[in-house]
Structure 1
Amino acid sequence: MLEAAKRIFQAKGMDGARMQEIANEAGINKAMLHYYYRSKQLLFEAVFKNAFSLLAPQLNTILNDDSSIEDKVRNFCSNYISFIIKHPYLPNFIIQELNRNPDFLLKMKNNPGFPTTEKFKKQVALEIDKGIIKPINGEQLFINIMALNVFPFVAKPLIQTLIGVEDEEFEKIVEERKTSAADFIINSIKI
């Protein structure tokens, strides 16, 4: 049921999806769908929570493990890009729905395992104090890491058109970003 709903929500968004269409995609009747999920909003929230729960561990790793900032950047770029190659719908789906309903994320923030930036910011400050990295605001570094990894997937049609590549070449470029994005970030902060 959730897989069918994910496909429909991904294709049509929350507002464009219809419960009957989701039931048809799942191969069940609409009454059964309503039995498990009393409304389209509750079904959507279940799909969104599932999608975000796939991404949250990636964010938690970069923010809360004990590796160096350089290792965090390298691991995040490689792991995130590999993950999104397997789940290409995720970035657009999450961004589209957060723009539609920003308060939804506030509800999720109270769930265990929701990523926080406190440890990451402290580690950035510590590595600055030790002379390992250049002075940079921890939030800005985190935003840079996210932006350089998320944007190519969110803007795939734009990027493909601007640089003149088809899907196969774009996939190669994205694969290269595992190291090129990490190198770019590290070189920008390394002393």
Structure 2
Amino acid sequence: MVKNRNEAEIAILTAAKTIFSVKGKDGATMQEIANEAGINKALLHYYFRNKDLLFEEVFFDAVKKFSPILKHAIAQEVDLYQKIQQICEAYITMAIENPFVPVFVLSEVNKQPEIFIQKMFHGDLPDFPKLAAQINKEVSLGNIKPIQPQHLILNMMSMCVFPFVFKPIFIVGMQADKQLFDQLMLERIKTVPQFIIDSIKK
């Protein structure tokens, strides 16, 4: 039983994340979220007027938790291989816990890209230029194979994020199920950074 406003909002956001993770924004209904939260639909609408506002709240709550982890992984002073491992782990873990995030970013980012990205990171974007400089330095020292930093960064991002966008096609096309997909994603926390590292290692 929900006792106060703060408890109600926590219950709603927790329930909404659960439903959105399974059905996405378009497939979820406010009634399902209300049922999951253990409240009536009228109370749900009292706190969140519509599904779009609720989804945005859940989305930015997930990004708010992920953003500092990514920024730290990129900014810290560690060797490139360790940094690749930590960036890939941060992205894939975030997407496993919040599978609605990559799909929503893909659908929204091209509408008003600068505004959307600034809002995601509160104006403090991850320091990708610093990562690019570190890659260039490792190339110049002969520690890794020659590669444009932009390509290496794109390789990491695409291998970490795209499988979650591709999920419905993968499940149908491979005649797989959600459990197999989830297991593969957990395995990719280790296999993706290793694949990236092996591709640049001399």
Secondary structure, in 3 states, of the residue corresponding to 1:164?
coil
- Whether 1:90 and 2:86 are equivalent positions in the alignment is no
Cα distance, 1:150 vs. partner? 0.7
Asked if 1:122 is matched to 2:133, the reply is: yes
Give yes or no for contact 2:25–2:55 (8 Å, CA) kept in 1: no
Aligned match of 1:65 in 60, 73, 76?
A: 76
Unpaired runs of at least 5, structure 2: 1-11
Cα 1:142–1:29 shift into 2, 3 Å? same
Equivalent position of 1:181 in the other structure: 192
Q: Which residue of 1 aligns with 2:183?
A: 172
1:15-164 superposed matches below 5 A: 27=39, 45-108=56-119, 111=122, 113-164=124-175
TM-score normalised according to structure 2 size: 0.70
Match of 1:190 in 2: 201
CA–CA distance in structure 2, aligned partners of residues 73 and 4 of structure 1: 33
Aligned residues: 189
SS at match of 2:109: helix
1:168 and 1:56, CA in 2 relative to 1: closer, same or farther beyond 3 A? same
| Deviation string, structure 1 residues 86-134 (Cα, Å, up to 9, x no partner) | 2222222322232454353244277254313121111111111111112
CA RMSD of aligned residues (A): 3.4
Structure 1 residue runs of 5 or longer lacking an equivalent are none
What TM-score results when the alignment is normalised by the length of structure 1? 0.74
CA deviations on 1:52-72 (whole Å, 9 max, x unpaired) are 223313431342111111111
8 Å Cα contact 1:6-1:47 kept in structure 2: yes
Q: Are the aligned partners of 1:58 and 1:80 in contact in 2 as well (CA < 8 Å)?
A: no
